[in-house]
Structure 1
Amino acid sequence: MKLLKQVILLFIVGSFFWACGASPINNKNIEKEEPVVIANDSLEYEITIIDPGFTYYLNAIAQPEGFYTQDYLETRNRIWVQEWNNRAISSMQFDANIYENIIDYQLYTDYGYEVNYKLFNYFLFAQQKYKMNLGGGFRSNRIN
C-alpha cells in the first residue's frame, strides 16, 4: 500500500512538472500579443511585425538592448534585408506567407539603434521559427 501511494504521488508530481514545463510559451498569450512596431519618427520609417511569438522573443529571449553595437546590427541587417528581399521577389521559390513584403532598408540611412535592434532580432526570431537561414553565419538563442 505504501508503494502504491508513492507511485501515485510520483505520478502527480511528474504530471505537474510536465504540465508546467511542456511549453515555455503560452499560446493564449501569443494570440493576444500586440504587434511590434519598429519606427524612427524623424525618418518617417515604420515596420509593423505581427508574427505571433515575436513579442515574447524580444522580451524574454533576445539579448538586451545595448548588447550589440549599432554598427554590428546595421551590418547584419544589410545582409539579412538583402536576402529577405531576394526571397520576397522570388515568391515562386520561397513561401510567400513568410516573405510577404519587401523591406525598404536603405544602405546609408541611419535608422538609429532601436530600429536596427528590433529588425535584427526579428530576423533571428524568423530564422529560428521558420527554420531558415538568411546567411551571415550567425547563431543565436533558441526558441524552445
Structure 2
Amino acid sequence: MKKTKYILLWIFVGGAVFLYACSGTKQVTESQNSSVEVTGTDSVEYDVETFNANFDIWYQRQNTLASYRSQSYYETWNRQYVSAWNAKCASPSPNWNFEPVVGYDPAEDYGFEMNHKLFYYFMYVENVLKKQIMPGGPHVTFN
C-alpha cells in the first residue's frame, strides 16, 4: 500500500510538472505570435552584383545625372544585352570568360537604379574590358 502511494504521488507530481511545462511553452508561443507584425508595404529591392571592385569605382565616376536616360531606354537595351550575354555563357569560347548567366525577367519591374547599373555594367564590359557582348550596341561616351 505504501508503495502504491509513492507511485501515485510520483505520477501526480510528474503530471503536474508536465502540465506546467506544456502550459509554459504555450504562453511563450502565444507571446511570440503576438509580437509579429505584418505590413502591407513590403517591397523587393534588386541590385546588380558584379564582384568587380574596378567596375564599382568606374560606375561611381560615370554615374552623373547628365548621363541619365529613361528607364524604358535602359530596359530595352538590357533585354538585348542579357539575351546576348546568356547566349555567350551557354556556348563559351576562349574569348569569353564570364560564366554566370544574368537572371533578368523582362516582365519584372526592376526599377530605374537597377536597370541603370546593369546597363552600365554591360557598357563597362564592352568599353573598358573590350569584350564585345553584342554588335550594334548604343554609342555612349564615357569620362
TM-score interval for Structure 1 and Structure 2 normalised by the shorter chain: 0.5 to 0.7
C-alpha spacing 1:64/1:109, structure 2 compared with 1 (3 Å):
same
C-alpha spacing 1:63/1:46, structure 2 compared with 1 (3 Å):
closer
Structure with the higher fraction of residues in helix conformation: 2
Asked if 1 retains the 8 angstrom alpha-carbon contact of 2:96 and 2:131, the reply is no
C-alpha spacing 1:116/1:78, structure 2 compared with 1 (3 Å):
same
Between Structure 1 and Structure 2, whose CA radius of gyration is higher?
Answer: 2
C-alpha spacing 1:64/1:55, structure 2 compared with 1 (3 Å):
farther
Q: Does residue 87 of the first structure (1) align with residue 99 of the second (2)?
A: no
Asked if 2 retains the 8 angstrom alpha-carbon contact of 1:87 and 1:94, the reply is no
2:59 aligns with 58
Percent of aligned pairs sharing the same letter:
30
TM-score, normalization: structure 1? 0.60
Distance of 1:60 and 1:129 partners within structure 2: 13
C-alpha spacing 1:128/1:81, structure 2 compared with 1 (3 Å):
same
C-alpha spacing 1:140/1:63, structure 2 compared with 1 (3 Å):
farther
Report which structure shows greater RCO (CA 8 Å, sep ≥6). Answer: 2
Distance of 1:58 and 1:107 partners within structure 2: 23
**Shift of the alpha carbon at 1:51?**
1.7
1:141 aligns with 141
C-alpha spacing 1:72/1:49, structure 2 compared with 1 (3 Å):
same
Distance of 1:44 and 1:62 partners within structure 2: 19
Distance of 2:73 and 2:115 partners within structure 1: 9
**Aligned partner letter, 2:121:** Y
**Aligned partner letter, 1:132:** K
What are the Cα deviations for residues 76-135 of structure 1, in whole angstroms up to 9, with x where unaligned?
A: 000000000011111135423xx2100010121111111101101111111112212333
1:120 aligns with 119
**Aligned partner letter, 1:124:** M
Asked if 2 retains the 8 angstrom alpha-carbon contact of 1:87 and 1:93, the reply is no
Asked if 2 retains the 8 angstrom alpha-carbon contact of 1:65 and 1:117, the reply is no
1:34 aligns with none
**Shift of the alpha carbon at 1:142?**
4.2
RMSD: 2.4
Distance of 1:75 and 1:57 partners within structure 2: 23
Across the two proteins, how many residue pairs are aligned to each other?
Answer: 101
What are the Cα deviations for residues 32-73 of structure 1, in whole angstroms up to 9, with x where unaligned?
A: xxxxxxxxx934644411223212221112443871100000
Q: Unpaired segments of 5 or more residues in structure 2?
A: 1-41
Q: Unpaired segments of 5 or more residues in structure 1?
A: 1-40
